[in-house]
Structure 1
């Protein structure tokens, strides 16, 4: 099972780090700039995705980042942004949860999907 591997737990550590970066950016764009919560989510997501690529390359999968993999890496986040954006919408609009907390809950839902897809793209496994 993939969740018992050291690689998966390194991915989780990177995920927590990246989620923290994303969340700080989200709060900045949502509350200080201010952007609409969904625009703040997308902008923060795109910025944090770059950091995630390098952290996952060096720390999680221990590979050398390449331009080709950097250009392919956003494909790993198509599922992530779809799952997280849908979840944020459901949490905020349908369940009436706080728009500042909903992105954290949505991020947790997307972790397993992102692990499997990023492993496929970055390591060809």
Structure 2
């Protein structure tokens, strides 16, 4: 079993905060400034923040060289996280009538822990 790296986890958490702020900024930009529907704003923000997250986690968290292979695998491994976040966002906004401005925060809190493990496996792969 791989050794749990405390430094990696702490760095991942810091990068996660940066990534969440980046996602939320892009989300609000799309929702409020560009007038996009919340789900379009969400998916646009996910894509943009995922690209930034890939490079931050490669260089800072896991200290690995980013490659095209890892870059292309990164979103595939995050697909479950993206789908679950979207479903939770839909449930929160349309089902529970949570304000679409704050709903992504609740969805992300539920899905973030899994991302640490998955991201490490992808970025540390040969």
- Normalised to the residue count of structure 1, the TM-score between the two structures is 0.92
Query: Aligned residue for 2:69?
Result: 68
Query: Aligned residue for 1:117?
Result: 118
Q: Write the distance in 2 (CA, Å) between the matches of 1:38 and 1:28.
A: 13
Query: Aligned residue for 1:16?
Result: 17
Query: Aligned residue for 1:96?
Result: 97
Q: Write the distance in 1 (CA, Å) between the matches of 2:112 and 2:71.
A: 19
Query: Aligned residue for 1:5?
Result: 6
Contact 1:76 1:114 in 2 (8 A): no
Query: What SS does structure 2 have at the residue aligned with 1:29?
Result: helix
Report deviation, 1:25: 0.5
Q: Write the distance in 1 (CA, Å) between the matches of 2:76 and 2:114.
A: 12
> Over residues 95-120 of structure 1, what are the superposed CA-to-partner deviations in whole Å (9 max), with x where a residue is unaligned?
11110000111111111111111111
Query: Aligned residue for 1:30?
Result: 31
Query: What SS does structure 2 have at the residue aligned with 1:19?
Result: helix
Query: Aligned residue for 1:56?
Result: 57
Report deviation, 1:83: 1.6
Displaced runs of 4 or more, over 6 A: none
Report deviation, 1:76: 2.6
Report deviation, 1:82: 1.2
Q: List runs of 5+ in structure 1 lacking aligned partners.
A: none
Report deviation, 1:124: 2.8
> Over residues 72-105 of structure 1, what are the superposed CA-to-partner deviations in whole Å (9 max), with x where a residue is unaligned?
1112320211121111111111111110000111
